[in-house]
Every structure is written in C-alpha cells, then in structure tokens.
Amino acid sequence: MTRQVLILGAGLAGLAAAGPLAARGFHVRLVESRNRTGGRASSFTDATTGQLIDACQHVSMGCCTNFAHFCAQAGIAHLVAPQRRLYFMTPDGRVSSFGADPLPAPLHLTRSFLTAHYLTFAEKTAIARGLAALRFTSSEDDRPFRDWLIQHRQPPRTVDRFWGLVLVSALNEEADRIGLKYARKVFVDGFLKHPRGFQVEVPTVPLGQLYGAELDAWLARNRITLSLNQAVRRIEVRDQRVACIELRSGEQVSPDWVISALPFQRLLELLPEVVIEQHACFANLRHLQTSPITSVHLWYDRPICRWPHLVLIDGLGQWLFQRGETAPGEHYIQIVVSASRRFRGLGHEEVQRRIVAELRSLLGHSAQLLRARVVTEHQATFSVVPGVDRWRPSQKTPIANLFLAGDWTATGWPATMESAVRSGYLAAEELLAQTGHPVRLLQPDL
C-alpha cells in the first residue's frame, strides 16, 4: 500500500513534520513556492555584493527543546551557538550582563538581576514581587497583560525597562497588546524554570546556510522529495477529503494525506470558501492579527561594538547583533526592531538615518558607514493578543486527510521557531495516530 504525504511549505513546520514520517516509511514530498527551504527563517542574496543576508536575525532559547531536537536530527546543531551571557546597554553607554550562577532555578539569575544598573532597588523589588506572583498565576489565564501589570503595581519604568523590553523581543508585540498567558510563558519557561532556559542561541551562519547543504543532505538521506519553486494554486476538497492539490505549474497531485505548513493567510486563499465557512477551525483564522519586524543591516569600515550582541534599553532599536567581518574591511551589524509599527509612514532612508544616529550616540564610534539595507516583514508573526488561542486550530482538521502545521496552530507556544517545530511534530503525530501508528514525537521541556 502506498503511503504518500504531500507537505505544503518547506519552512520549519513542514521540515519538522517530514522527518518523522519519512523515517516511518511514508513517501514524503515537500513543495515550496520559494527557491529555498526555511520559510520565514530565511536569507536573501544582496544584489550589490552577492552576500547572503538574513531577512531578520532569528534566535532560539535554551527552553526551546523541540527546535534543539530538530537541529540535532537534521545535523545542523553545530551551526547554532549559545550565548551564556546577555548584555544590556542604556543610552549613557553603560552595560550590565546577565549570566547564570550555579544555583538552582529560580535563583540562578539573582546576582545578575540585583547588579543590573538600569533598575533602581525599588523597581527590582516590584519586579521580584511581580515574578513571584506570575509564577503562581494560572497558565491558562489570558486576560490583558497590561491589566495584570496594573493589578500587581508595576511602575511604568519597570514596564519599559523590564517587562516590555523582554516581551517585545520574545513575542514581537508591545506589552499593552498581549495576553497574560504568553507573557507568563516567556518569564516562567525562559527565566524561572531552568538555569539554561534564558540562554539565547544564535546561528553562526546566515539562515540560508543553516537550512542549506547539511539540511539538503538530511532530506536526501531520508528520501524526502523536495520540490522548490512549486507554489500551490488551489486545494480541492470533495466529500470532506482533499481530493487534489493543483500547483501553479499545472501539475495535479492526489496524495493520501496532506499537511499544510503554509502561513494561515495563504491557506485561507487556497481553501474553497464553502469549506472555510463550514468549519470554524478555518473561519477563525480570519481573526488572527499580525505584527511586523524591521531589520537594519549596516556595514562599517571597522568594528564599532566589542560585545557579541546588545539589548538596547530605551532605544529605537531593541537588539544589536554583531555579525563580524563578512568581507575584507566590512564589519556587519544588524539591528532588530520588533513590533515595528512606529516605522509606518517612514521611508527606509529615514529609518536608517535614525538607527545610525542612535548607534553613533550609544557606541561613540567614528567608523564610516559603507552601505546599509532596511528590511521590513509586515506580517512577520501572529500577534499574541488576549485570548488568541481560541482562534488557533489544532493540527487535526475536520477534513479527513488534511492536517495543519505552522507556529500559528495550537502548540501552547507563541510565534517562534520552537512553535513551528512543535506544530510539525504534532501534525505528524496526528497523521501517524490516524494510520494506526501512535507515537510521541514532541520533546519534553527542560
């Protein structure tokens, strides 16, 4: 009996679903509209220099156990490096670092927290009180986080310099727009549960290389067919089953099972309207909102920063990543601005001007800017607004042979690479269970 699985989209969610199914004897084909794998975790080739540039710096954390498992399985774990210390800079150029002491959680970050220069003792006391309350708050409570902050008497400056600072980077959303559930998850899973949970893990190569030759070799070893530049034109549904997938090339495919690992907006474009209206799991996707990310790429004629990264407090930029000397005499810096709605209406030149001026003020450098590039992903992630989980569908759908994967599905995580991998594993679990081969693919937390 043939067991053909067609996976739509070769981002992390689709890749994560493909591996376990191929290893269990399924004939897996990945179709991807782009000319590369990785989805939103991607690079592009700069037309001027031919250099591979990440659209936006993607990072993981130590608490992201499923992403770590996927990287190990795919043979790319050696291309991701943990940052054992985090560096925080204020507008006056002062820097505090966070590192874990050999103490049990949640005490491992106590010394770093107490010595952070950018918070007063009274603010630290308020934050400590808030963290204690957050730890014992129900994990299902998803009221507006701003209401929780007010209830627990968090001063405005702690919101700016601690709560919001962490959350805007982790969730790509402003603190006054998010729900309590995923704010709690960031702080509890990332900072309070395990000494390694907070560690940021950064790819040491462009994303195009992270999901490059090693990943292609893994796909080949698993006999997974990868079809690039193959966009889907429509999904035909008959009798509550996917009957046919038509590609833009004109090819029509009728697999036994389909896993859609497409963005939710794209899935809504492809499904028949009658199917969307008939099933709430699809219709509810129209309620999901999105949030933008802007990255500013800068090349200087000499190094301007001695830290591997910086979290910028009270800055226009939020994270600075040092990317090293990418060509002789060219030193590459990337600035990431999450939830970058503030840039609406500003041209790229003005965004660049403001970021360049901020770096000169912060770092006091005299380097010459050689070139720059500003990239905005307008629908980078879904927004974790209060109650968002009521709109996120499970991986199993009412269409008998259709499963869903994507960080926007019900994974219990916000829009992260971890959520994408979890969704792929969960979709594969559902498919395997339906075929009489139940297995646990999801990896345990730290």
pLDDT, tens only, 249-271: 999 999 999 999 999 999 999 99
Quote the crossing angle between the two packed helices 213-221 and 12-23, to the nearest 10°.
30
Q: In 3D, which of 74, 28, 20, 22 has the Cα closest to residue 438?
A: 20
- Distance, in Å, from the CA atom of 141 to the CA atom of 179, rounded to the nearest integer, reads 8
Q: What's the pLDDT at 440?
A: 97
Average pLDDT over all residues of the chain: 95
Alpha helix stretches (DSSP H) within 138-205: 145-151, 156-158, 164-171, 180-187
Distance between alpha carbon 292 and the CA centroid of its chain, in Å? 12
The confidence band for 1, taking pLDDT boundaries of 50, 70 and 90, is low
CATH topology for 4-52+206-288+388-434 is FAD/NAD(P)-binding domain (3.50.50)
Give the phi and the psi of residue 144 in degrees, each rounded to 5. Answer: -60, 130
Q: What's the pLDDT at 97?
A: 96
Q: What's the pLDDT at 41?
A: 84
Neighbour-count burial of 77, counting CB atoms closer than 10 A to its CB (0-12 exposed, 13-18 middle, 19+ buried): middle
The confidence band for 49, taking pLDDT boundaries of 50, 70 and 90, is confident
pTM higher than the cut 0.85: yes
Q: Please answer whether residues 235 and 271 qualify as being in contact, where contact means their C-beta atoms are separated by less than 8 angstroms.
A: yes
Q: Quickly tell me which residue has 């800079």 as its tokens.
A: 89
Using one digit for the tens of pLDDT, what is the confidence trace for 293-325?
Answer: 999 999 999 999 999 999 999 999 999 999 999
Class of domain 290-382: alpha beta
pLDDT at 415 over 90: yes
- Distance, in Å, from the CA atom of 97 to the CA atom of 111, rounded to the nearest integer, reads 10
Distance between alpha carbon 168 and the CA centroid of its chain, in Å? 12
Using one digit for the tens of pLDDT, what is the confidence trace for 166-205?
Answer: 999 999 999 999 999 999 999 999 999 999 999 999 999 9
- Distance, in Å, from the CA atom of 92 to the CA atom of 43, rounded to the nearest integer, reads 34
* Domain boundary assignment for the chain: 4-52+206-288+388-434, 99-192, 290-382
Q: Quickly tell me which residue has 């014992």 as its tokens.
A: 136
